[in-house]
Amino acid sequence: MHLQINEVAGNKVVAIEGRLDTTTYADLEKTLTNLFDEGCHNMILDCSAMDYVSSSGLRVFLMILKKIKSVGGSLVLCGLQPAIYNVFEISGFLSIFSIRDSLDQALNK
């Protein structure tokens, strides 16, 4: 997994590339927690290049969502591949997360 962080229109955009699984979730968790602790409460997670997510990865998404919501911030996920979208649907996460088709749509939330 590779992470790239950019700031766009006042939002931190974290692009996730590759597999988010039991061997990589800790890197994402650390990155997102550090951003939050530094005062970043509006994030967009660009998942367009993420090709797999495990339950460990889902837990990281849920953890950062709870932190961000606790301070009135915003978390948007975008670019979910069909297989990952299905995982979110089966797990019930579609009703919990704000999900957009593209980064442009996420920026215009």
pLDDT digits (tens, 9 = 90+) for 13-41: 999 999 999 999 999 999 999 999 999 99
pLDDT in tens, 68-98: 999 999 999 999 999 999 999 999 999 999 9
The single-letter code of the amino acid at 76 is V
- Are 66 and 32 within 8 A, CB to CB? no
Task: Measure the CA–CA gap between 44 and 107, rounded to whole angstroms.
Answer: 8
pTM equals: 0.95
CA distances to 42, 77, 99 from 46, rounded to whole Å, are 13, 6, 10
Q: Nearest to residue 106, comparing CAs of 69, 64, 78?
A: 78
What is 2-107's CATH number?
3.30.750.24
